[in-house]
Structure 1
Amino acid sequence: MLKLYTNTNFLTETYRRQVFPLLFDLVFKKNDTLLSKYQLVAAIEDADVVVFPADYAVFLKQKHACTTLLHLAKQHQKPIWIYTAGDYGFTNYIPNSYTFRLGGFDSQLDTNTFVIPSFINDPYDTFLPQGFSALKKDSTPSIGFVGHAQSGFKKYVKEYTNHLKYRIKRAFNVILADQQSFYPSSIKRAKYLSQLAVNDQLNTQFILRHHYRAGSQSELTQKESSKQFYDNMFNNAYTLCLRGVGNFSVRFYETLAVGRIPILINTDCRLPLSSKIDWSKHCLIIEEKGKVPIAEQILKFHNSLTETAFENLQTSNRDLWLNTLRREPYFLEIYNQFKTKQQ
């Protein structure tokens, strides 16, 4: 059992959307499996870990509560778990702390930073009723993509304007976020996809949107666009995955959930649980600044797989998502890692 101490005043409906994901599962969902491993305690003396109850940017604004919890953790020499949400996340320099975040730049993150997967619902429950099955290997690799990808001067100006807004908000402390260089992700996606589309050795099935979720507003149109998104992913062995505003890709986890093979353009990403997972065995990772053309790397990877290995890779990716990257198994693995540290 790993015993957690936190300020329970923030474990209420008011802060429901900002609560540390593990605490959310323990308090709001009452996940029995996690409750068998984690226990909230009323006295800090009994705790193994002190947990900031909500997103760091939210909790930090509650100065008295934040300062009090920090003081108690220091006084009792307890490690601190801190959750920083949003596309950017925030690097803190609090001694004896561990940060949980969605992304960030691997070269800038310390060993006490844990990347959280994007926790998504199982696409087979809603959008793919046929259930999982591995695709047979074809001599020509099939690559899918449905999403926001657009080039052109107007698009560049729009994305740069959004970046300037982020910088202004950050400068005036409207948002608490790490500094980040301008990265026009939609334009980058369009560039990579166009390079692949003209290669006759690849079977490309791309549907490019000019807006996120095709600009869908109603529940019906959002469901329709999601169905098209997952159908494309299901019917193609590979999906191109590239970061968005933050340095991580939700599409990467969606591809794994479907049981297909991500082609990840590596922009100095840190992937979850990299001490446990050999990510090179689950996806094709292409360095953004590499000199070998993307299409050439895809063909080499595809041709290196036997028919059996090709199908096994898809099954392995589906199993990885089910057994490691969903909320419950992810925090079970975190439990195992921290219990090992205590021994």
Structure 2
Amino acid sequence: MPVKIYTQESLLIQEHRKHIFFIFLELSFTHKEWIRDYFELSAQPRPADYFVWPLCLSYTRRIGEYQSYLNFIKEADAQQKKVWVYTGGDEGWSQFKQPQRLVHFRLAGFKSSYNLPTEVLPTFIQDPLADKELNIIKNPLPPYRLGFVGHADGSLRKWVKEVLLYLKKQVKRISRDNIDFQSFYPSSVRRFYYLEKLGYLKNLKTDYILRRQYRAAATSDLVRRKATEEEFKENIKDNLFTFCMRGGGNFSVRFYETLAQGRIPLYLETDTQLPLTDKINWDNHFLRLYPKDTVSEIEFKLTAFIKANDLEALQLKNRNLWENYLTREAYAKHLFLKYRSE
């Protein structure tokens, strides 16, 4: 029997679509049949298993619906129901008075700062192999290929630009956006230096395409954007390993793209919690690095990782991980299995 969820259905309109919790996107917009195996809307609060606020909380404040949210929480308390809330975007927002029964869904944030039960959402991506077969790299031998396509720039000009962008975001955060504070982190600059460090490893051959701007400044040119996206996907496909680290938010979309293509992330740990840690032993799927690791330490870790793993089998294992846990349907199924019994 599906989990029954109660929400403020008046907010499930096209105007808010980009900010709606993914379960409601599937129930009320895409009308996918599979979602009805796991969740259904309850028209009344009493029969519901959970109250679920339909919009990203920071967006809720921005459009003047925060009082409606507080009223929703009060009603959940009166009904003694657990509440699910969602914050999206790079930073998310968690500066709210939460009831004891609240569960927070977000893309990441910083694991050490979580102050209530948190479910981390994967970044839901389109299947890069939708019309293709998984191409296993057979019998990989050293030097192992390490790929990266993306925004990375270590110049002084970029440092200055990152500082100005950060200050602008802080003004916006205080005046309008209602997002969590995040320390200055010039991701494109740090990415450049980490990639440079990995280039010194003897048992890696790097295949980098470094861009000075996000998406090679092709966000508005559809033809050029498609070309850069294909270049990005081809680079992942062609290389056994791909370097993955956070961007503006403390999560990596590239990480999920890499798993979906059956490749192996070299993942830079920045106090990030990954999804479904109660189901997945993540260290069986990638090599975890830390910002302070030296070249020799990374070399040692990489050698140990390669000795401990069948690299051909791991490619298929990672593709299966993405299919069985990290797509919209798979993730919804695991939420259903976890929360139906509570």
Provide the residue aligned with 1:176 in structure 2.
178
Aligned residues: 335
Whether contact under 8 Å (1:237, 1:261) holds in the other structure is yes
Q: Do structure 1's residue 239 and structure 2's residue 235 form an aligned pair?
A: no
1:20-64 Cα offsets, whole Å, 9 max, x none, are: 111111111112121122110111001110011111122232144
Aligned ranges for residues 6-25 of structure 1 at < 5 Å? Answer: 6-25=7-26
- Between the aligned partners of 2:107 and 2:21, the Cα distance in structure 1 is 12
Which of residues 155, 160, 167 in structure 1 aligns to 2:158? 155
Q: Do structure 1's residue 117 and structure 2's residue 122 form an aligned pair?
A: yes
Cα drift, residue 200 of structure 1: 4.0
Cα drift, residue 156 of structure 1: 0.4
Provide the residue aligned with 1:39 in structure 2.
40
1:110-138 Cα offsets, whole Å, 9 max, x none, are: 4611110110001123xxx5521211211
Percent sequence identity over aligned pairs: 36
In structure 2, give the amino acid aligned to 1:210: R
More off after superposition, 262-271 vs 104-113: 104-113
Q: Do structure 1's residue 50 and structure 2's residue 51 form an aligned pair?
A: yes
- Between the aligned partners of 1:195 and 1:14, the Cα distance in structure 2 is 45
Provide the residue aligned with 1:229 in structure 2.
232
- Between the aligned partners of 1:198 and 1:58, the Cα distance in structure 2 is 44
Cα drift, residue 199 of structure 1: 3.6
Q: Do structure 1's residue 67 and structure 2's residue 70 form an aligned pair?
A: yes
Aligned ranges for residues 183-198 of structure 1 at < 5 Å? Answer: 183-198=185-200
Cα drift, residue 171 of structure 1: 2.4
Aligned-residue Cα RMSD (Å) equals: 1.6
Whether contact under 8 Å (2:201, 2:295) holds in the other structure is no
Q: Do structure 1's residue 94 and structure 2's residue 98 form an aligned pair?
A: yes
- Between the aligned partners of 2:97 and 2:334, the Cα distance in structure 1 is 25
Provide the residue aligned with 1:105 in structure 2.
110
Cα drift, residue 219 of structure 1: 1.1
Cα drift, residue 304 of structure 1: 1.0
In structure 2, relative to structure 1, the CA distance for the partners of 1:301 and 1:219 (3 Å cut) is farther
Q: Do structure 1's residue 270 and structure 2's residue 289 form an aligned pair?
A: no
More off after superposition, 249-258 vs 290-299: 290-299
Which of residues 289, 292, 303 in structure 1 aligns to 2:292? 289
In structure 2, give the amino acid aligned to 1:122: D
TM-score by length of structure 2 reads 0.94
Whether contact under 8 Å (1:255, 1:262) holds in the other structure is yes
Cα drift, residue 283 of structure 1: 0.6
In structure 2, relative to structure 1, the CA distance for the partners of 1:161 and 1:293 (3 Å cut) is farther
1:188-224 Cα offsets, whole Å, 9 max, x none, are: 1110111222444321100100011111131111111
Whether contact under 8 Å (1:52, 1:59) holds in the other structure is no
More off after superposition, 39-48 vs 160-169: 160-169
In structure 2, relative to structure 1, the CA distance for the partners of 1:196 and 1:315 (3 Å cut) is same
Q: Do structure 1's residue 261 and structure 2's residue 264 form an aligned pair?
A: yes
Whether contact under 8 Å (1:141, 1:302) holds in the other structure is no
Provide the residue aligned with 2:333 in structure 1.
332
In structure 2, relative to structure 1, the CA distance for the partners of 1:255 and 1:294 (3 Å cut) is farther
User: Aligned to 2:75, what secondary structure does the other structure show?
Assistant: helix
Cα drift, residue 291 of structure 1: 4.9
Q: Which runs of 5+ in 2 are unaligned?
A: none
- Between the aligned partners of 1:222 and 1:175, the Cα distance in structure 2 is 28
Whether contact under 8 Å (1:286, 1:294) holds in the other structure is no
- Between the aligned partners of 2:120 and 2:103, the Cα distance in structure 1 is 11
In structure 1, give the amino acid aligned to 2:231: Q
- Between the aligned partners of 2:297 and 2:172, the Cα distance in structure 1 is 36
TM-score by length of structure 1 reads 0.93
In structure 2, give the amino acid aligned to 1:176: N
Whether contact under 8 Å (2:142, 2:204) holds in the other structure is no
- Between the aligned partners of 2:296 and 2:186, the Cα distance in structure 1 is 20
